[in-house]
Amino acid sequence: MDPLLLQPRIHFTRSDAPVAVEAFEALTARYGQAPRAECDVVVALGGDGLMLETLQETLESVGEGAAQERRPVYGMHRGTVGFMMNDYSEDGLIERLMAAEAAAINPLRMTAHRIDGETRVAHAFNEVSLLRERHQAAKIRICIDGRERMPELVCDGVIVATPAGSTAYNYSAHGPILPIGADILALTPISAFRPRRWRGALLPRHAHVELEVLDPERRPVSATADNIETRHVTRVEIELDASITHTLLFDPGHGLAERLIREQFA
């Protein structure tokens, strides 16, 4: 935070969990509630799902003022999973915001082409995942920067994850944890059947990933950017969108870089 902002204007947002609602009422009564467009910082009360929703909200803004609308976000854990959140306390919030460490993150841009010809675009701060929609395994062709790297992956799905999202779904699928400053993305299969022993790949940060669904009529596949799902896709293009930057705030010594290292020794 800017040290000159002795009393930052805070906009609180929350999930629907009772504990988050209770925290919202207590904190807004104590620190006030600035309008979103006029605040200096957003404080999100909930879990990682709310954090992703909060980041997604500003992506709907377009035009010259969009960058100014992306206020830094400080999360406090009042939900289920809180990897991207700080510990909750009603006391000393102003001091915590003033001392917070910043982490800048860029989202992935997913362009999903559907079987009906429609194209949908969405962003993901954690990962883009392709998943089979029926009992049959998906068959996916993988191209990187216009070059075919795998003609057919038979699997339940595949994930492209950012460093910030590498400890989420990617890690559960046995993908690698990436340091927050790493210039790489993780490409991780979900229950790969053929090639059976393929464990995925590490890709340059600015790689253009193209995932083509083979036999989409018989083996339908959905594509999800964080929590935004597109069903019946035929082809999905994924690349980092460096034009969008969000800033997350963390208590000193508990930033994303430290959390990603600590997670590997848990």
- Residue 106 has phi, psi (to 5 degrees) of -115, 145
Residue 48 a catalytic site member: yes
Active-site choice (16, 48, 87, 251): 48
CA 165 – CA 178 distance, rounded (Å): 9
Q: Residue 176: is the preceding peptide bond cis (ω within 30°)?
A: no
- The answer to whether residues 81 and 46 touch, using CB atoms and an 8 Å cutoff, is no
In terms of phi and psi (left: phi > 0; alpha: psi -120 to 50; beta: otherwise), the region of 149 is alpha
- Give every CB contact of residue 143 below 8 A, 6+ residues apart in sequence: 149, 209, 210, 211, 212
Q: CA separation (Å) from 228 to 9, 69, 121, 246?
A: 30, 21, 10, 18
Residues taking part in catalysis: 48
